[in-house]
A and B are shown apart, each in its own frame.
Chain A
Amino acid sequence: MRLPAFEYLEPRDRQEALDYLARYSENASILAGGSDLLVRMKQRLVRTSYVISLKHLKDLDGIRPDEDGRLCLGSNTPLVSIIRSPLLQGAYRGLTDAIRRIGAPPIQHYRGTIGGNLCLETRCLYYNQSAFWRSGRPRCQKDGGEICYAEENSDRCRSANVSDGACALMALDAETVLESREGERSLPIEEFFTGKGESPFARSPDELVTTIRLPAPETAFGSSFRKLTYRSAIDFALVSASAGVKVEAGRIARARIAVGGAGAAPLLLREASEKLLGKSPEDGDAVAETAAQAGRHAAAFMVDNLGATLEYRQKMAAVLVRKAVQEALARAENGNARGRRER
């Protein structure tokens, strides 16, 4: 399968990259690894005149703490560096677990990047198909048409965000930094996603995601990630869940639960998360209740657009949330025990 023709641009530094983005705007695509972009170009889902490679932007590759102790992940950091980084163990296990589940570890992880995964386009069974497959019927909303094949009479695109990294970053309360020639802005991860299937990201065409910032690591904080797939590798999530919890004085002090594969953005389930607050980490009923509510809310967003029946994915959302919360709590308590021992 041949790629369509385009002009390849290889900026030497960040400024040059931002200049290209300002000049070519929506006619340009950013190549941060290519395992999603090139496939979509081959399938003629993306028509782009310029491909801007980030290969020489070495300052976007790396993981460093900033002066406030927050961890800054350069957007062009390969997935393999995320998994292997000693800085991302402990509190951030949810992220490394998620990254480990992307593609097939030995292959995609050398080319795939964290920024690329964050910007993984939303997917749909009726959209992510070859040009030939799609040529048999009118274009869907994501493809520039007016029909939705996933949900009858839908007035908008109902594709799903299935990025494992995005789901985990949502639970970790990450922040994204976007830069353009005009300047820099940072967005909480919730605001990085629009929730619209047609245009899922708040990134404007002249902006580059440069950094993903994680809150400073804390003791007694645990995170986790769960993903449902048919295959054990090279498979997108049918549904996924991630949790980040903080335990203080034997009580759950903070909780963030995210579900992927449900809407056009990873869903942040605030109400369900709040059910955990003030509860003991051992309170199985609270976890079950939280999971049930998270499952109900996530199910309300789901449509039949991925490779398993809707009912199965809806049921599994609650199961994955329960497992993710249990694991995050166990990890938070282990972190707590370790913290006590160190003191």
Chain B
Amino acid sequence: MKKIPVSMTVNDDEVDIYVPAHWTLLDVLREELELTGAKEGCGEGVCGSCTVLMDGHPVRSCLTLAAEARGARVLTVEGLGGPGMELDPLQQAFIEKGAVQCGFCTPGMLMTAKALLDSKPEATEQEVREAISGNICRCTGYAKIVEAILDASHKSET
């Protein structure tokens, strides 16, 4: 099988690998880099559990070819916190507000929320709900997730 070179930055690490041309970014993250935070839910771009940030924008890693991510800066949930075991304020808020139940959607939710708060630190509830409209959660009913994101957004102001 023909492999192609892929160089990108993943969570501040330079990555240079050869992967089959038909691999998606999600395949590379999970199979090659062993970053299993991003999840494969539907595999068809509907559920959002594979969401990662590519150059700061949330994308479906299951519908992004690894080749298309060449040269990009990719951030996954593993790279969200600070050095060591420090949690991102968003992750802390998700814990405090009980925004996690089964946890499968959580990495995607966190990354989408991260992109929102990076561009709009003082997001309104409406903006939060719109931002996560592409991420499906079958446990929480979204209320706690919205609360957590708003909480993190308020904390970032102070």
Interface residues of A (CB under 8 A from B): 1-8, 10, 31, 34-35, 38-39, 42-43, 51, 53, 55, 103-108, 110-111, 232-234
- A5 close to B22 (CB less than 8 A): yes
Residue from B21, B51, B59, B116 within 8 A of A8 (CB atoms): B21
- A110 close to B45 (CB less than 8 A): no
B8, CB-defined interface residue at 8 Å: no
Residue from B23, B40, B65, B112 within 8 A of A106 (CB atoms): B112
Q: A38-B65, A53-B67, A233-B133 are in contact. Are A107 and B46 (CB under 8 A)?
A: no
B44, CB-defined interface residue at 8 Å: yes
- B134 close to A55 (CB less than 8 A): no
Interchain nearest-CB distance for A21 vs B (Å): 18
Q: Supply 30 A–B pairs (Cβ within 8 Å), ascending by A.
A: A2-B27, A3-B22, A5-B21, A5-B22, A8-B22, A34-B64, A34-B65, A35-B45, A35-B60, A35-B63, A38-B24, A38-B63, A42-B43, A51-B65, A53-B67, A103-B45, A103-B134, A104-B134, A104-B135, A106-B116, A107-B48, A107-B51, A107-B59, A108-B60, A111-B59, A111-B60, A111-B64, A233-B134, A234-B134, A234-B136
Closest B residue, CB atoms, query A111? B59
Chain B 130-150, CB-CB to A under 8 Å as 1, else 0, gives 111111100000000000000
> How far is A105 from B4 in the complex, measured between Cα atoms in Å?
31
> How far is A107 from B133 in the complex, measured between Cα atoms in Å?
9
Instruction: Report chain B residues within 8 Å CB of A106.
Output: 58, 112, 115-116, 130-134
| Nearest 6 A/B pairs, CB to CB | A104-B134, A233-B133, A1-B43, A8-B21, A107-B134, A110-B57
> How far is A110 from B133 in the complex, measured between Cα atoms in Å?
15
Within 8 A of A (CB), among B97-113: 112
Instruction: Report chain B residues within 8 Å CB of A35.
Output: 45, 60, 63
> How far is A103 from B58 in the complex, measured between Cα atoms in Å?
13
Instruction: Report chain A residues within 8 Å CB of B85.
Output: none
Instruction: Report chain A residues within 8 Å CB of B59.
Output: 107, 110-111
Instruction: Report chain A residues within 8 Å CB of B134.
Output: 103-108, 233-234
Residue from A3, A31, A107, A232 within 8 A of B60 (CB atoms): A107
- B68 close to A107 (CB less than 8 A): no
B20, CB-defined interface residue at 8 Å: yes
> How far is A31 from B21 in the complex, measured between Cα atoms in Å?
13
- A104 close to B43 (CB less than 8 A): no
- B65 close to A107 (CB less than 8 A): no
Within 8 A of A (CB), among B12-41: 20-24, 27, 40
* Interface SS majority for chain B: mixed
- The number of chain B residues with a CB under 8 A from chain A is 37
Instruction: Report chain B residues within 8 Å CB of A31.
Output: 65, 68
- A107 close to B58 (CB less than 8 A): yes
- A53 close to B43 (CB less than 8 A): no
Residue from B21, B27, B43, B130 within 8 A of A7 (CB atoms): B21
Closest B residue, CB atoms, query A38? B63
Interchain nearest-CB distance for B50 vs A (Å): 10
> How far is A232 from B142 in the complex, measured between Cα atoms in Å?
14
Interchain nearest-CB distance for A154 vs B (Å): 27
- A5 close to B44 (CB less than 8 A): no
Closest A residue, CB atoms, query B4? A8
Instruction: Report chain B residues within 8 Å CB of A38.
Output: 24, 45, 63, 65
> How far is A194 from B120 in the complex, measured between Cα atoms in Å?
43
7 extra A-B contacts, CB within 8 A, seeds A2-B27, A35-B60: A5-B1, A6-B22, A8-B21, A42-B44, A53-B68, A107-B60, A234-B133
Interchain nearest-CB distance for B6 vs A (Å): 11
Instruction: Report chain B residues within 8 Å CB of A34.
Output: 63-65, 68
> How far is A43 from B4 in the complex, measured between Cα atoms in Å?
23
Within 8 A of A (CB), among B112-126: 112, 115-116
Q: A107-B134, A111-B63 are in contact. Are A234 and B21 (CB under 8 A)?
A: no
Q: A3-B24, A104-B48 are in contact. Are A10 and B67 (CB under 8 A)?
A: yes
Within 8 A of A (CB), among B70-99: none
> How far is A4 from B45 in the complex, measured between Cα atoms in Å?
17
Instruction: Report chain B residues within 8 Å CB of A42.
Output: 43-44
> How far is A8 from B24 in the complex, measured between Cα atoms in Å?
12
Q: A105-B130, A106-B115, A233-B134 are in contact. Are A55 and B68 (CB under 8 A)?
A: yes
